């Protein structure tokens, strides 16, 4: 206990010593001039003429007034000028420096020191200058001061519906009053300019956001609300009535802007609260429109009625600020909760500044501009939160996308592997089909011809003839093997040279079978076919002639090659055999030979047309030509006529 008591005594002693040192330090820092601070002894007001110097004080009916005066309460309906006389004394006489500071004059005015003018507003007649929100500071010249009995005369020009009168006025030491004026200038002007800039920047930001996405109507309403708010702040800091012609017209413009602000604020609050109340919005639109029409139609002499509209619009904003927290309690979303707290704070600030505007409070600190900075902080928090949420969604989407892409790549790899196997199987089948077709059309035809020759022979064939037949089949086999490199084979110079080997193969067999063959060929190629086209026509002709030998029992065959329009090559084989039922053949599927001919032609974009009846069978194969035009020295027709060769 002793130790505790000693510790408490030491603590108390330290506090006393610290307080004593602080008082001594404050006394040392306090200028001696402050001991001679001027003192206001009287503050009075009286009606005045609009012009002229201060009159004799005894000629006016003076009334004592408080520090914040509104003559509309004393002289209802009085529009004009009023004198304010402030009598003051200086304990140290004229040698003591003295300054004068006036925070606001409603609406315009002029200042005299002992009947000497030191300042005057630019316009003291309609439209009046606006000094109601403009702090001013003067250091009083020593020559204008008296030893005792100094007076400050302020003539104020105003209208009864604009709370006319003299605001806060102080007389004191220059350094102290200069600091006081600077603080008032910050509170009444500088902070307003900062808020106007911030509001316009945010207005542009949300306007561009709405223009890029018209579905976000909330951004558009908030941009309009910010623009109206910036205009309201501009009305507060304006000292020049331009572009309005009178003070009542200026007041009407200010009221219209406040109506627009109230309307956009209410619509924004409803949309932000995610409430779709169409009828309420229409009613609000109608009410604000009626108020705007009334504000425009009310006579200047009855502008006092506009206070009811101001009060109604303020009540609407207050109602929204009170109801929005209830909606926030329902949704419980962070954005709604944050704005509900802001709205409640806005309501308190609005009530405070309304009392300050009506001179119910005696200080300079207006809080309305700080709501813009608070809104900016809340919006920055909301936007930052939205950005973080979007980044998380993007990261989550990227993760899911990477998993999906990985799965898709695996599926694609498996699909490609299956496709590769199918392509290999398909290529094998195609190769088998090609080999079977080549065997059928090439070597098969040679075998058929050889068999037919042996059957038609009445005596055993000589060895040389048998060897020739075997060599012919060997050549057909080689040609079939070399089909893959047929593009490198040189195209015969003329159709006669192209048909010669095939004609030689079938000539003896047709003689043995007593079949007359007529070959009709052009003298030259007008457009050279490709090697694969020559080979295809050769295979088609071989198969067609083989079918004539095997099935037709014909006695006459005609082979015609035509180039009708230099863009198509046509091969026509016609015989006078027994024919066949074409419809039955197509229904029961074509034979191997006919399918082979059709497949070869279709691979080269060609066509095959067959017509058959007893006594006449015609097969017409067509291929498109893309070769180069052949040049000849002798003059011939563009389409050569076929030559008949027996």
Parallel/antiparallel/unpaired status of strands 568-575 and 165-166: unpaired
Look up residue 319 and give its two tokens: 């109602």
36-172: what fold?
Jelly Rolls (2.60.120)
- The per-residue pLDDT of the chain, averaged, comes to 82
CA distances from residue 567 to 609, 610, 643 in whole angstroms, order as listed: 18, 21, 20
Strand order, beta sheet including 150-158: 63-64, 39-48, 80-89, 150-158, 108-113, 116-120
Q: Are strands 80-89 and 39-48 parallel, antiparallel or unpaired?
A: antiparallel
Rounded Cα distance between 23 and 595, Å, is 121
pLDDT, mean of residues 315-325: 91
Mind spelling out the 3-state secondary structure of 146-158? Answer: CCCCEEEEEEEEE
Largest CA distance in the chain: 169
Burial track 72-108 (b if 16+ CB lie within 10 A, e otherwise)? beebeeebbbbbbbbebebeeeeebbbbbbbbbbbbb
In the chain, what are the domain boundaries? 36-172, 189-397, 401-488, 491-624
Contact 59, 40 (CB under 8 A): no
pLDDT by residue (tens digit) across 154-179? 999 999 888 899 988 999 999 999 99
pLDDT 10s digits, 192-250: 999 999 999 999 999 998 999 888 898 999 999 999 999 999 999 999 888 898 999 99
Percent of the chain that is helix, strand, coil (3-state, to 5):
60, 15, 25
Does the pTM surpass 0.75? The reply is no
Output DSSP code: residue 186.
I
DSSP per-residue codes, 382-399: HHHHHHHHHHHHHHHHHH
Which of 309, 317, 327 has the alpha carbon at shortest distance from 371? 317
Contact status, residue 449 vs residue 543, Cβ threshold 8 Å? no
pLDDT at 94 over 90: no
- For the cut 80, the answer to whether the pLDDT of residue 17 exceeds it is no
Query: How many other CB atoms are found less than 10 A from the CB of residue 612?
Result: 19
Token pair for 423: 């392509």
Does CATH place domain 491-624 in 3.40.50.300?
no
- Give mean pLDDT, residues 134-149: 90
Q: Of all helices (H) and strands (E), which one includes residue 453?
A: helix 444-456
Q: How far apart are CA 251 and CA 131, in angstroms?
A: 14
What does the alpha-carbon distance between residue 72 and residue 453 come to, in Å, rounded to a whole number? Answer: 139
pLDDT at residue 613, as a whole number: 86
Q: Are 199 and 226 in contact (CB under 8 A)?
A: yes
The helix/strand/coil state of 49 is: coil
Q: Which of 265-274, 316-325, 600-609 has the lowest mean pLDDT?
A: 600-609
Token couple for 476: 């057909």
User: Would you call 216 helix, strand, or coil by DSSP?
Assistant: coil
Q: What are the beta bridge partners of residue 148?
A: none
């Amino acid at each position: 206990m002793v130790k505790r008591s000693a510790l408490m005594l030491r603590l108390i002693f330290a506090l006393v010593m610290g307080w004593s040192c602080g008082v001594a330090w404050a006394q040392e820092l306090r200028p001696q001039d402050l001991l001679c601070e001027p003192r206001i002894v009287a503050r009075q007001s009286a009606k005045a003429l609009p012009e002229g110097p201060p009159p004799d004080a005894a000629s006016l009916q003076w009334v004592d007034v408080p520090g914040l005066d509104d003559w509309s309460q004393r002289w209802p309906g009085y529009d004009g000028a009023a004198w304010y006389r402030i009598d003051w004394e200086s304990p140290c006489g004229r040698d003591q420096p003295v300054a004068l500071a006036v925070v606001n004059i409603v609406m315009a005015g002029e200042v005299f020191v002992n009947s000497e003018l030191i300042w005057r507003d630019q316009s003291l007649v309609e439209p009046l200058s606006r000094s109601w929100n403009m702090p001013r500071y003067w250091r009083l010249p020593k020559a204008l001061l008296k030893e005792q009995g100094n007076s400050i005369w302020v003539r104020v020009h105003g209208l009864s519906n604009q709370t006319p009168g003299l605001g806060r006025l102080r007389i004191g030491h220059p350094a102290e009053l200069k600091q006081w004026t600077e603080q008032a200038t910050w509170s009444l002007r500088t902070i307003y300019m900062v808020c106007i800039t911030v509001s316009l920047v945010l207005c542009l930001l949300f306007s561009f956001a709405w223009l890029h996405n018209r579905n976000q109507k909330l951004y558009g309403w908030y941009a309009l609300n910010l623009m109206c708010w910036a205009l309201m702040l501009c009305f507060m800091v304006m000292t020049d009535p331009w572009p309005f012609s009178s003070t009542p017209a200026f007041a009407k413009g200010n009221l219209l802007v406040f109506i627009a602000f109230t309307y956009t604020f209410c619509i924004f609050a409803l949309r932000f609260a995610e409430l779709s109340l169409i009828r309420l919005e229409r009613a609000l639109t109608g009410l604000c429109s009626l108020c705007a029409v009334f504000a425009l139609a009310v006579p200047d002499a009855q502008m006092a009625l506009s206070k009811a509209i101001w009060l109604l619009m303020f009540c609407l904003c207050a109602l929204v600020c009170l109801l929005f927290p209830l909606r926030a309690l329902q949704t419980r979303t962070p954005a709604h909760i944050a704005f509900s707290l802001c709205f409640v704070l806005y309501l308190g600030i609005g009530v405070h500044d309304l009392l300050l505007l009506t001179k119910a409070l005696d200080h300079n600190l207006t809080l309305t501009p700080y709501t813009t900075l608070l809104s900016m902080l809340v919006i920055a928090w909301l936007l930052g939160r939205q950005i973080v949420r979007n980044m998380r969604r993007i990261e989550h989407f990227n993760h899911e996308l990477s998993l999906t892409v990985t799965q898709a790549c695996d599926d694609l790899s498996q699909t490609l592997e299956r496709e590769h196997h199918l392509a290999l199987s398909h290529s094998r089948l195609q190769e088998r089909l090609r080999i079977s077709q080549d065997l059928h059309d090439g070597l098969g035809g040679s075998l058929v011809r050889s068999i037919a020759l042996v059957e038609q022979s009445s005596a055993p064939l000589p060895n040389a003839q048998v060897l020739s037949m075997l060599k012919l089949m060997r050549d057909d086999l080689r040609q079939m093997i070399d089909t893959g490199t047929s593009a490198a084979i040189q195209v015969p110079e003329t159709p006669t040279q192209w048909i010669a080997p095939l004609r030689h193969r079938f000539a003896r067999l047709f003689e043995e079978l007593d079949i007359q063959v007529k070959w009709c060929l052009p003298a030259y190629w007008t457009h050279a076919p490709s090697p694969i086209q020559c080979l295809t026509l050769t295979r088609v002709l071989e198969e067609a002639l083989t079918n004539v030998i095997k099935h037709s029992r014909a006695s006459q065959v005609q082979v015609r090659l035509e180039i009708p329009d230099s863009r198509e090559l046509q091969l026509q084989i016609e015989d006078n055999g027994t024919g066949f039922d074409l419809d039955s053949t197509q229904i029961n599927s074509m034979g191997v030979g006919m399918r082979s001919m059709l497949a070869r032609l279709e691979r080269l974009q060609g066509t095959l047309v067959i017509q058959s009846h007893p006594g006449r069978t015609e097969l017409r194969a067509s291929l498109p030509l893309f070769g180069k035009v052949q040049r000849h020295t002798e003059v011939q027709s563009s389409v050569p006529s076929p030559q008949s060769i027996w």
